[in-house]
Amino acid sequence: MGVELPNPALIDEEVVIVAHDLTPSDTAQLNKKFVKGFVTDIGGRTAHSAIMARSLEIPAVVGTDSVTKSVKAGETIAVDGLNGDVVVDPSAEQQADFEKQAKQYAADRAEWAKLKTAKTVTADGKHFELAANIGTPKDLEGVHANGAEAVGLYRTEFLYMDSSELPSEDDQFEAYKEVLESMSPKPVVVRTMDIGGDKHLPYMPLPEEMNPFLGYRAIRISLDRQEIFRTQLRALLRASAFGKLRIMFPMIATIQEFEAAKKIFLEEKANLEKAGTKIADDIQLGIMIEIPAAAVLADQFAKHVDFFSIGTNDLIQYSMAADRGNEHVSYLYQPYNPSILRLVKHVIDSAHKEGKWTGMCGEAAGDPVMVPLLLGMGLDEYSMSATSILKVRSLMKRLSTEDMKKLAETAMNENITNDQNKELVEKFVN
């Protein structure tokens, strides 16, 4: 159309961005000093732009369907990222209400901040690990500021997305080393490259697919393009000497895939040790549970892996056959649906039976409605946007695991809907 689109990285005045959609790479460039919020036509709570907005602490409302038709450049707009409200040209009364809510939220955050150095302990004295999801070493500031006990998901694909070519082994080593050193002795779960779906590399064209989220992506690319995978594993192995490393393979569907990935890992480990490279001897290997087939077979996977991390965003998407970025079916994003809860409980129980631990790195891990249910199911580690950690720690302090067990049993076993479970938990907790 001959229109030059603005570069998000060059914004130098206070604005709210209104767009049809924002890509993960667009979102990563936003400066929260100037970008006070963004609103899009499409997307859902688990779209990557929305997830990154939470990490950046930028209020966002996505999936409005038609905001670009309703707003003109230069108009005043009010955005409530907590409740998903957007008001165009707000009245003086509405502006005052938004300012009042903002002050209350700031007061709540000041109260939560007192728990920064506290351990995450329930009302009956049980400890659970609260971890942070990160995309780059730059996110570490928020991790430390919010008192995270671990990094539960390091999304390494942003190393690839922020580069004009495949990042070298040394470049990757430096990035991984920085995170591991900064967090030591706390653990860091690093997910190997999860490219594909809605995350593309201009220098690595992938085949056109009808269903890219179900296609050639993540571990499937790594096992096929082993030179890329081996470079990443070597960088991780070298960095392991500087902290407590846990490696997680994404999009695993079969035990054979895990065994193939582990074999490559062990080959590269042996090669580096032969060359005299110092490598940690306690690296754990785990998988993301995001494909229903793997969740159902968790009792068998648990015999082979060191840990599970449940990726609820994709697990729900695939279980409900509902595209996570499609606002028309966003009502099917149902983390409290008994079918999802039963899958999650089966994964946790399967791990515990084999003496392994289970974490969750999907958005549900920081959801104040889901957290009480997960406590009741015995989930060990909760990884979320760093900005959610102190709020969740405050919530856990008020909850008894025995009470939550009963609540989880009701939520899983009664003839009950997603919305009814939400109401049940909110009523119980409040």
Distances (CA, A) of 66 to 23, 42, 246, 357: 18, 8, 43, 44
pLDDT in the model for residue 264:
98
The full set of domain ranges for the chain reads: 8-110, 119-429
pLDDT in the model for residue 2:
84
Catalytic residue at 200?
Answer: no
Catalytic residue at 346?
Answer: no
What residue has token string 């249910």?
373
Please name the amino acid found at residue 299.
D
Please identify which of the residues 20, 48, 144, 346 carries the catalytic annotation.
48
For residue 223, name the pLDDT band (cuts at 50, 70, 90).
very high
Mean pLDDT on 332-343: 95
For residue 319, name the pLDDT band (cuts at 50, 70, 90).
very high
pLDDT in the model for residue 362:
85
* Residue ranges with strand state E in 275-376: 284-289, 307-310, 357-360
Question: Shortest CA distance to 318 belongs to which of 376, 362, 381?
Answer: 362
Question: Shortest CA distance to 376 belongs to which of 350, 421, 410, 343?
Answer: 410
Which letter does DSSP use for residue 337 in this model? S
pLDDT per residue as tens digits for the range 78-135: 999 988 899 999 999 999 999 999 999 999 999 999 999 999 999 999 999 999 999 9
**Is 267 a residue whose pLDDT tops 90?**
yes
pLDDT in the model for residue 39:
94
Please identify which of the residues 127, 328, 352, 361 carries the catalytic annotation.
361
**Is 57 a residue whose pLDDT tops 90?**
no
The structural architecture, per CATH, of the domain 8-110 is 3-Layer(bba) Sandwich (3.50)
pLDDT in the model for residue 299:
98
Mean pLDDT on 204-232: 94
The 3-state DSSP class for residue 333 equals coil
CATH no. of 119-429:
3.20.20.60
Contact at 8 Å (CB) between 263 and 206?
no
The 3-state DSSP class for residue 311 equals coil
Question: Shortest CA distance to 179 belongs to which of 234, 212, 140, 216?
Answer: 140
**Is 18 a residue whose pLDDT tops 80?**
yes
pTM score, two decimals? 0.89
What residue has token string 């096992």?
223
Please name the amino acid found at residue 376.
G
Q: What percent of the chain has pLDDT over 90?
A: 79
Distances (CA, A) of 368 to 60, 147, 383, 428: 18, 18, 13, 12
pLDDT in the model for residue 244:
98
Rounded to an integer, what distance in angstroms lies between the CA atom of residue 221 and that of residue 194?
Answer: 9
pLDDT per residue as tens digits for the range 378-418: 999 999 999 999 999 999 999 999 999 999 999 998 789 99
3-state secondary structure 34-63: CEEEEEECCCCCCCHHHHHHHHHCCCEECC
Mean pLDDT on 1-22: 87
